[in-house]
């Protein structure tokens, strides 16, 4: 859920500008970088959208994008640091036992015995796979790679994920 109350899926972020003509650098969080354009317009967490966006180049998971109304470097700089979202209804319906990474945010983290340890506060991905950030009950934060080595059952209906890693 974004700040404007809409159910949206995080698909990328604006990480920089290229040149002086309003071209933005977007980091795509989709499986294939170009898939970011499959869902139509994107918006930030306030619901402010950009229209008429086209890929004009890129490298790896970073796309160079030109959008209507973003005509200068200064216009593009206003977008740097913003997360990019798409309305969730545009995404495919998932099979039983599947979820999108952002669905994990807000889940209670419990141990194998069901004792609550904390809550997932973010899922980050810097290119080597998802990392779950979770806040312990004492307020400290932990970062663990999302893998079978650290996390077991995800139960969205019950609102919990089982932490199976070694307690430090």
Task: Reply yes or no on whether the pLDDT at 70 is more than 90.
Answer: yes
CA gap 132, 124 in Å, rounded: 7
Task: Reply yes or no on whether the pLDDT at 168 is more than 90.
Answer: no
Domain boundaries, the chain: 8-90, 101-163
Structure confidence at residue 1 (pLDDT): 52
Using the 8-state DSSP alphabet, how is residue 129 labeled?
S
Task: Reply yes or no on whether the pLDDT at 167 is more than 80.
Answer: no
Which strand (E) or helix (H) includes residue 77? helix 73-77
Structure confidence at residue 80 (pLDDT): 96
Helices (H) and strands (E) in the chain, counts: 1, 13
CA gap 117, 53 in Å, rounded: 43
pLDDT-derived band of residue 166, with 50, 70 and 90 as boundaries?
A: low
pLDDT tens for residues 119-157? Answer: 999 888 777 788 999 999 999 999 999 888 898 889 988
Residue 29 neighbours by CB under 8 Å, 6+ apart: 10, 11, 12, 13, 36, 61, 125
- Domain 101-163 CATH assignment equals 2.30.30.240: yes
- Written out in words, the top-level CATH class of the domain with range 8-90 is mainly beta
Task: Reply yes or no on whether the pLDDT at 2 is more than 60.
Answer: no
């Amino acid at each position: 859920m974004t700040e404007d109350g809409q159910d949206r899926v995080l698909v990328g972020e604006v990480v920089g500008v290229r040149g002086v003509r309003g071209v933005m650098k977007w980091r795509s969080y989709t499986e294939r970088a170009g898939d970011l354009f499959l869902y139509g317009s994107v918006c930030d967490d306030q619901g402010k959208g950009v229209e008429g966006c086209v890929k004009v180049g890129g490298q790896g998971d970073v796309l160079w994008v030109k959008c209507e109304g973003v005509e200068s470097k200064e216009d593009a700089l206003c977008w740097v640091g913003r997360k990019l979202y798409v309305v969730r209804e545009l995404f495919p319906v998932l099979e039983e036992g599947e979820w999108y990474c952002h669905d994990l945010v807000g889940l209670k983290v419990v141990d194998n015995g069901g004792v609550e340890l904390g809550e997932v506060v973010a899922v980050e991905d810097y290119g080597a796979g998802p990392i779950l950030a979770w806040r312990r009950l004492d307020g400290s934060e932990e970062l663990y790679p999302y893998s079978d080595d650290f996390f077991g059952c995800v139960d969205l209906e019950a609102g919990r994920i089982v932490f199976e890693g070694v307690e430090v």
